[in-house]
């Protein structure tokens, strides 16, 4: 029996218990998990230090190291995000719709747990906790398959969460970590339809595309974030600078960081040199189209790959455009449909951008970093979907549930 088969069977058994759990019992789980994470902080950081040292020996990039690293503050932030789930309404049992047919038959559309959700993700120990906590709140069980680069951190986090569940009515078997590091475990999860009701990949483009293309289990694809910012002619400089600096430098290793900057030529004449100097002063490497060199001679030439690149680092591609239409055409060609932003004081241009851009989240005068389940009020998110079915954008509790129809009658037959 493989690890996935063995743990999948335990998850299915646990999911049947969870499906009947009360809201009070489900809320006890994130409360206990948050408390145990903070109490186990030293143990978790010790395990994370091993992963970080292994990463250094393998020469991992600074952006990957940032995603992998845990600190006391990050653990406290993770615990706080988990606690936020307690105050959120329990979606399970919600009557989504109801009607009565002419023959007296009553039909209700009821929100129910998904069952067992599998997560495949890379080098993000916080996903281990976020995914587990949000799945449990929705009455489902979770199979976690992180990357080998974070295996020690994930073991410590899962051990802490299972200890927490042992003090509640939620079975600790509802959280299972797959420790098999080979790609075979990923392949097996992709075809574990007897045990998994849904698969969610989080990570780089190659991981996500591989799972989407090869899985027989239903998949929600969380997206790569080639996020654009378009600075329109009427944009306020101070606002534009604040948004661009935040979107690019606040945490460049995440999917909602800005990767491409499109600038109206008229605005560029007045402000682009200043803005690029500020970016460069923050350590950002500028990859630019030829016309941008007039404003910033130190830029690296931008090739075709740069317009499609998710840098996940202190680098950005910059291009000037004649106006909104050219910006929209560029975004349509290169967007990964994650988050796209316009900075403008022109309400008509803002409305056109918001209507025309095909992305999970479209922003007007807001940083792309705001695309986040916590910021949206969803609590700890399970990911940001860039597909259109059945969930799109930051995925909170409702996005990882299903529904069933409950029909009540008094003997109706056909």
Give the Cα separation of 296 and 39 in Å (integer). Answer: 50
**How would residue 153 be classed by pLDDT, with cut points 50, 70 and 90?**
very high
Say what the pLDDT of residue 63 is.
80
Q: Name the strand (E) or helix (H) holding 111.
A: strand 106-113
Residue 379 has pLDDT above 80, yes or no: no
Is residue 85 in some structural domain?
yes
Decide if 414 is inside a domain. no
Q: What pLDDT is recorded for position 240?
A: 98
Q: Which two tokens stand for residue 29?
A: 């789980």
Q: What is the mean pLDDT of residues 138-159?
A: 97
We report the CATH number of the domain holding residue 88 as 3.40.605.10
Task: Give the Cβ contact number of residue 194 at 10 Å.
Answer: 10
Residue 48 domain boundaries = 3-222+395-408
Structure confidence at residue 62 (pLDDT): 85
Confidence class of residue 289 from pLDDT cuts 50, 70 and 90?
Answer: very high
Are residues 165 and 188 located together in one domain of the fold?
yes
385 is a domain residue: no
Indicate if 371 and 399 belong to the same structural domain. Answer: no
Cis peptide before 390 (omega within 30 of 0): yes
Q: For the sheet containing 175-177, what is the strand order?
A: 175-177, 141-145, 116-121, 198-202
In a domain, 386, yes or no: no
Check residue 204 and give its pLDDT.
82
* Domain match, 69 and 9 both: yes
pTM: 0.89
Q: Are residues 181 and 293 in the same domain?
A: no
Residues 86 and 191 in one domain: yes
Does 348 fall in a domain?
yes
Residue 223's pLDDT is 76
Q: Quick check: is 322 in a domain?
A: yes
Same domain, 167 and 31: yes
Q: State the CATH number of the domain containing residue 241.
A: 3.40.309.10
Is pLDDT of 43 > 80? yes
Q: Are residues 364 and 402 in the same domain?
A: no
Average pLDDT over the chain, rounded to whole? 95
Give the confidence band of 325 by pLDDT, cuts at 50, 70, 90: very high
Q: What pLDDT, on a 0 to 100 scale, did the predictor assign at position 378?
A: 82
Whether 180 maps to a domain, the answer reads yes
Percent pLDDT > 70 in the chain is: 100
Q: Are residues 198 and 154 in the same domain?
A: yes
| 138 shares its domain with 100 | yes
| pLDDT above 80: residue 380 | no
For range 355-380, the mean pLDDT: 92
Q: Is there a domain that residue 198 lies in? A: yes
pLDDT of residue 35: 98
Alpha-carbon distance of 243 to 302, in angstroms, equals: 22
Q: Are residues 186 and 236 in the same domain?
A: no
Instruction: Note whether 356 and 335 are same-domain residues.
Output: yes
Shared domain check, 182 and 67: yes
Report the number of distinct structural domains present in the chain: 2
């Amino acid at each position: 029996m493989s690890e996935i088969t063995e743990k999948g069977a335990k998850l299915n058994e646990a999911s049947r218990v969870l499906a009947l759990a009360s809201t009070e019992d489900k809320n006890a789980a994130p409360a206990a998990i948050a408390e145990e994470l903070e109490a186990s902080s030293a143990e978790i950081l010790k395990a994370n230090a091993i992963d970080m040292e292994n990463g250094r020996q393998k020469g991992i990039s600074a952006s990957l190291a940032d995603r992998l690293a845990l600190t006391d503050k990050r653990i406290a932030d993770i615990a706080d995000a988990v606690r936020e789930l307690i105050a959120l309404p329990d979606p399970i049992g919600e009557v989504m719709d109801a009607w009565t047919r002419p023959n007296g038959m009553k039909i209700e559309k009821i929100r129910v747990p998904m069952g067992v959700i599998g997560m495949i993700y890379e080098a993000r120990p916080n996903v281990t906790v976020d995914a587990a906590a949000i799945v449990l709140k929705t009455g489902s069980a979770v199979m976690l398959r992180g990357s080998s680069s974070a295996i020690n951190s994930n073991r410590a986090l899962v051990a802490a969460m299972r200890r927490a569940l042992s003090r509640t009515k939620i079975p600790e078997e509802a959280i299972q970590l797959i420790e098999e590091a080979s790609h075979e475990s990923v392949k097996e999860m992709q075809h574990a339809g007897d045990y998994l009701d849904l698969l969610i990949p989080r990570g780089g483009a190659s991981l996500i595309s591989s799972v989407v293309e090869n899985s027989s289990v239903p998949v929600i694809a969380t997206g790569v974030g080639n996020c654009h910012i378009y600075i329109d002619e009427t944009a306020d400089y101070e606002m534009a600078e604040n948004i661009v600096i935040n979107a690019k430098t606040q945490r460049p290793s995440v999917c909602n960081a800005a990767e491409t900057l499109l600038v109206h030529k008229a605005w560029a004449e007045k402000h682009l040199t200043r803005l690029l100097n500020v970016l460069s002063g923050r350590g950002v490497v500028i990859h630019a189209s030829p016309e941008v060199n007039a404003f910033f001679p130190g830029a690296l030439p931008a090739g075709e790959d740069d317009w499609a690149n998710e840098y996940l680092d202190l680098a950005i591609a910059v291009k000037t455009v004649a106006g909104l239409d050219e910006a929209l055409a560029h975004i349509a060609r290169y967007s990964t449909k994650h988050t796209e932003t316009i900075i403008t004081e022109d309400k008509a241009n803002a409305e056109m951008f918001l209507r025309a851009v095909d992305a999970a989240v479209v922003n007007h005068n807001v940083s792309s970093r705001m695309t986040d389940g916590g910021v949206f009020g969803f609590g700890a998110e399970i990911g940001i979907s860039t597909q259109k079915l059945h969930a799109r954008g930051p995925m909170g509790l409702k996005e990882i549930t299903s529904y069933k129809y409950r029909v009540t009658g008094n003997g109706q037959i056909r």
